[in-house]
Amino acid sequence: MLEHVRAHLTGAFRAEVALHHDPRRPADAWDARRRQHSSKKMLSFLLEQGPPPPARVLGITDQDLFIPILTFVFGEAQLGGRAAVVSTARLDDGVPVVSPRVLAERVAIECVHEVGHAYGLLHCASPRCAMGRSPSVRDVDAKKPQLCRDCLSRLAERNDRSGG
């Protein structure tokens, strides 16, 4: 799965992607009342443990994530920041995944989406673009693990302004 994600991230952002396995989790991310992990605390942990700037860091976890205003999130990123996190916990929509390929594709789509936010991209109106909104697994399945032409253009403009 990670190689699948890496290939899509490399293609979408034309950037070198290094994989690193770290089984540690932030001790303070678990919220006993919600029985979920705080994605904000996961992002803070990733920033502390990740590579130095300007590199971005993406964490993939099997833990169910939340932000206070939503029941759950597939992932979260710092808009225009350096950290993003994606959870596999809800990408099977509560039923067994038909195949590992389906889960790998969903994870790749959400990873491109969250890293896109870290590069400063906002949600896209195109339901097939990786930057499209995805409140449900069905919405994730409607997307492709690539950026649409408009989002690629926005990414290029941001990179030109920031120098990469």
Residues identified as active-site: 114
Separation of alpha carbons 25 and 107, rounded Å: 19
CA proximity to 43, closest of 83, 96, 94, 90: 83
Long-range pairs of 91-96 with CB within 8 A, sequence gap ≥ 24: 91/137, 91/140, 92/137, 93/136, 93/137, 93/138
Q: Could you give the angle at the alpha carbon of 18 between the alpha carbons of 16 and 19, nearest 5°?
A: 150
Q: How far is it, in rounded angstroms, from Cα 144 to Cα 162?
A: 27
In the chain, the N- to C-terminal Cα span, in Å, equals 27
The two tokens of residue 11 are 């293609």
Other CB atoms within 10 A of residue 7 CB:
13
